Amino acid sequence: MIRLLYFSQAMNPISAEDVQDILQVSRRNNSATGLSGVLIHGGGLFMQVLEGPEQSVLRKYVKILDDKRHSNCQIIYITPTNERIFEGWSMGVIACERSFEFQHILDLRNQRKEVVRAKVFKEAMHEFLRRLKAAP
Ligand SMILES: Cc1cc2nc3c(=O)[nH]c(=O)nc-3n(C[C@H](O)[C@H](O)[C@H](O)COP(=O)(O)O)c2cc1C
């Protein structure tokens, strides 16, 4: 399996309807192809983690790249893995309205020119998982 994290810029301000549309399709497709992950959005940015079988993740990422609802996709982190962080989430969602919530994830992007350390990445993701689990 692999885990991939990318950032992208929304083409238009992200509405609740846009997010619902993406999630509906994602939840259907992702469970069928063994993908799990989370979609974080806010401030005109998307950030998504996709994890699952290598071929499924890469095929899906290539498809997502073509989606006109966003642009400037940048892979921040990609790693082989044999465990899922987002087990059971065909696609979780977090709205980050307040910039401080997004900040420690945005920091990963700023580290992209260097190497994002696995420990830093895992801690950031586990923090998001805690938020997901705390969500109603
Ligand atoms: C930010 C973003 C994230 C997306 N994530 C997923 C995803 O995890 N799974 C998925 O199937 N489609 C996702 N999509 C939608 C795909 O780009 C594409 O529209 C969809 O996979 C097409 O599904 P279909 O072939 O069943 O019509 C995403 C789109 C955007 C803009």
Domains of the chain: 2-134 (3.30.70.100)
Task: Show the ligand 1 pocket: residues with CB < 6 angstroms.
Answer: 8, 22, 25-26, 29-30, 39, 46, 48, 60, 63-64, 67, 69-70, 91
CA of 14 to the centre of ligand 1 (A): 15
Average pLDDT over residues 69-77: 93
pLDDT-above-90 percentage for the chain: 53
8 A C-beta contact, residue 108 and residue 120: yes
User: Could you report the per-residue pLDDT of 86-128, keeping only the tens digit for each?
Assistant: 888 899 888 876 555 667 677 777 777 666 777 877 787 777 6
Distance between CA atoms of residues 42 and 23, nearest Å? 15
Distance between CA atoms of residues 74 and 76, nearest Å? 6
